[in-house]
Amino acid sequence: MAGKSGRTINATPQNVWRKRILSWEGVLIVILAVVLVLCRAMSATYTLENVLREMPKYLAEMFLMLPMAFILMMGEIDISVGSIVCLSGTLGCFAVNAGMPFPVALLIMLGTGLICGAINGAIIVIFPELPSMIVTLGTQIIFRGIAEIMLGGGGSIAAKNADGFRTIGKSLGIVPIVFFLVIISGAIFVIISTKMKFGRELMAIGSNRLTAFYSGVKVKKVLFISYVTMGAFSALCAIFFTAATYGANTTTGKGFEMDAIAMAVFGGISSTGGKGKMIGGILSAFVIVCLRIGLGQKNVNSQVILLIIGILLIGAVLLPNISARISASKKKAIS
């Protein structure tokens, strides 16, 4: 009905639960359930205990997805994260092999990530005319190149004293410690993106950077903080990945940047900025992790797994566009 102001008021209240179920996050929950059922049907070894046992090395990549989502929300990208993981892991192994206390090795790894993230952020802030894709492509080559020089001809290093890594790689019952840290980190990022000023600023920058700037958003500060956070969480990924593998080599972290981007985009976070929910990225990450473990248990070729994830990713990008076109054609037909 129409009020005195001339506005049309919907007399029928919206069904909130129906809206939530039909949202992309609701669809992801259904997809996760289907993946779990199918993987269990394909493999008798796909049990909760076995899945949790294999999760740590995959969960480590989820640390990359969280800040990557923030960067994508601004319409930027960071493809150097895999190389930061490699460099941080390499330095961590060198540190423990040199006899340094494990806490010192952790600080070195975290410091490496922070410095690499700060370098990315500083270049992007100081030279805004340079696309973040090109900047992080350059630093990707540099960071991995430094790691490869350190690793030398052998191309790998094993942590001779892996007691510290073994400790943080333990489980509480059957649940790995990294699982709890991922959930806590995810909750913090969800709160930041939905309840705090920083999250609103990310979306404002991604929607229209110039408008955000004239609205009082400190664009350069937000950009720099986001890239430093990305570096720190890349180091966190390196810590738990090293805890799962007890070493590093020249291929450590290769493709991690694509995995992080895939998790975020499949979760409904727009790669062009200004759109998406962190909870979607977290749900999609668990979908991909559970799918990888299930297909891995059936000895499916890793390239086939990448193909399946790629198809899911393209589907996630196309679905909203197809839905929008259908809605538009229906409106034209009615009019």
Per-residue DSSP letters for 106-124? HHHHHHHHHHHHHHHHHHH
Q: Is the pLDDT of residue 3 over 70?
A: no
For residues 51 and 77, what is the distance between their CA atoms, to the nearest angstrom?
31
Q: What local confidence, expressed as pLDDT, does residue 152 receive?
A: 87
Cα separation, 140 vs 227, in Å, equals 14
Q: How far is CA 79 from CA 51, 55, 257, in A?
A: 29, 23, 5
Element (H, E) at 317: helix 302-334
Query: What's the mean pLDDT in 248-268?
Result: 90
pLDDT at 332 over 90: no
Q: pLDDT tens across 84-121, in order?
A: 999 999 999 999 999 999 999 999 999 999 999 999 99
Q: How many residues does the chain have?
A: 335
Q: What are phi and psi of 111, to 5 degrees?
A: -60, -40
**pLDDT, position 214:** 92
**Helix ranges (DSSP H) in 152-277:** 163-168, 177-195, 197-207, 209-214, 219-245, 256-266
Contact status, residue 236 vs residue 113, Cβ threshold 8 Å: yes
Hey, what amino acid is at 221?
A: K
- Say how far apart CA 49 and CA 36 lie, in whole Å: 13
149-174, pLDDT tens digit by residue? Answer: 999 877 899 998 888 999 998 888 88
In this structure, what token pair is assigned to residue 299?
Answer: 């000895």
Task: For tokens 């190389």, name the residue.
Answer: 83
Q: Report residue 45 CA to chain centroid gap.
A: 28
Q: Residue 18's pLDDT is what?
A: 55
User: Poorest-confidence range of 26-30, 76-80, 182-186, 255-259?
Assistant: 26-30
- pLDDT at 154 (0 to 100): 77
- Asked whether residue 262 carries a pLDDT value surpassing 80, the answer given is yes
Confidence bin at 7 (pLDDT 50/70/90): low
pLDDT in tens, 234-255: 999 999 999 999 999 999 999 8
Write the pLDDT tens digit of every residue in 173-211.
889 999 999 999 999 999 999 999 999 999 999 999 999
Continuous segment of H or E residues that includes residue 246: none
Model pTM score: 0.87
User: Please, are residues 27 and 323 in contact by the beta-carbon 8 Å criterion?
Assistant: no
Count of beta carbons in the 10 Å neighbourhood of residue 26: 16
pLDDT of 321 reads 67
Q: What is the mean pLDDT of residues 321-326?
A: 69
With b for 16 or more beta-carbon neighbours within 10 A and e for fewer, the 28-56 pattern comes to beebbeebbeebeeebeebeeeebbebbb
- Average pLDDT of the chain? 88
Q: What is the mean pLDDT of residues 65-71?
A: 95
The pLDDT assigned to 273 comes to 87
Q: Using a pLDDT cut of 90, give the percent of the chain over it.
A: 57
Secondary structure of residue 157 in the 3-state scheme: strand
Q: Look at residue 320 in the predicted model and tell me its pLDDT.
A: 65
pLDDT of residue 20: 58
pLDDT at position 134 is 96
CA distance 253 to 22: 35
Average pLDDT of span 24-30: 84
